Structure 1
Amino acid sequence: MSTLSLNIVTPNGSVYDREDVELVVLQTTAGEIGVMYGHIPTVAALKTGYVKINFDNGSEFIAVSEGFVEIRQHKLSIIVQTAEAAKDIDVERAQSAKTKAEEHINSEQDRGDVHRAERALERANNRLYVSSLK
């Protein structure tokens, strides 16, 4: 079976690089897609969610924020603001971020930046979900 090369990049540089990927499952804004070697070249917008990576002897999950994926027949490049492997997620920190965002959203005093708090809540919930997929 032919394999893909996968690179996940954030503003801080490459955070994941693997050459032996058999299948990548992505959460695009149009729905979930699976990509294998030979996929038609595509560019798609990603929503906050996860990337599931299958390889010969296992699989792993990466929590990602919004971004883009460029798919070529033999290579995927994922460009996102943040990416974190499920095994590396600090659940306590994610729970704390969730609580803080919920408090900000529910605050009667400071309604100025609710959209930012809602996005923080979405990212925290995603990190908690992906951490459970280990």
Structure 2
Amino acid sequence: MYRHAARLVSRATVVAGRVRPFSTDIAAAPAEDTAFTEAWKKVSPNVEPPKTPMSFMKPRPPAPASIPAKLTVNFVLPYQSEISSKEVDMVIVPATTGQMGVLPGHVATIAELKPGVLSVHEGSDVTKYFVSSGFAFIHANSFADIVAVEAVPIDQIDASLVQKGLADFTQKLNSASTDLEKAEAQIGVDVHSALNAALTG
């Protein structure tokens, strides 16, 4: 299903027998918004016009004519790069809408991540990370950029500390008296529950 959808999206949209380019394609993206620039110069000819969003947009990477055999993954944290331009078979990300498998040729997507397990599949080898939150950017050219606020390999998680943290935050949630205390305690419960599920699942 994903491969079929990717073929449709990667070749743009055909309308009435002609291809409608995306706004970020090289031919379709003007260097600047000329109508805005001309209007600005009429009002304020001595001041340089400000940049518009279009001037900051980069061309969309070209989609290959055929679907590659591998998915190229970049997985970064604020303080280090976990995976850089690595070719893999599949990644499964914990999106807020549910677990999402990404294969080569996946339709272009942006997914918000929730606390959960990110798994990277290379043949029979599977590497699992627990991520706290972040975003996955899936590009039409079979590249995936995954950005997480915090991540740790599953095998480095101490199950006893997870159980203790879950108990502590559950107690804080039950005794919270303000909305802020409730929200902070609920975040702690959610993260430790997801950690516990990652270890037991």
Q: How does the TM-score come out when normalised to structure 1?
A: 0.83
Q: Aligned pairs, how many? A: 132
Two-structure CA RMSD over aligned residues (Å): 2.1
Can you list the C-alpha shifts for 1:61-119, whole angstroms capped at 9, x where unaligned? 221122110112332111122112111111122122111111111126x5441111111
**1:20 and 2:65 matched:** no
Aligned to 1:11: 78
> In the alignment, is residue 130 of structure 1 matched against residue 130 of structure 2?
no
Partner Cα separation in structure 2 for residue 121 and residue 78 of structure 1? 24
Of structures 1 and 2, the one scoring higher in RCO (CA 8 A, sep 6+) is: 1
- TM-score normalised over the length of structure 2: 0.58
- In structure 1, runs of 5+ residues without a counterpart are none
Higher strand share: 1
SS at match of 2:111: strand
**Equivalence for 2:61:** none
Name the SS of the counterpart of 1:113 in structure 2: helix
Letter in 1 for 2:146: I
Identity %: 23
Give the match's secondary structure for 2:89: strand
- For structure 2, list consecutive stretches of 5 or more residues without a partner in the other structure: 1-67
**Residue aligned with 1:92, SS:** helix
Matching of residues 44-59 of structure 1 within 5 Å: 44-59=111-126
Matched, 1:65 2:168: no
1:91 aligns with 2:151: no
Indicate the residue corresponding to 1:74 in structure 2: 142
Equivalent residue, structure 1, for 2:39:
none
1:106 is aligned to 2:174: yes
Give 2:15's aligned residue. none
Q: Does 1:39 align with 2:142?
A: no
Deviations 1:25-68 (A, max 9, x none): 12222333211112222212122222122111321322112211
* Residue type at the aligned position of 1:93: L
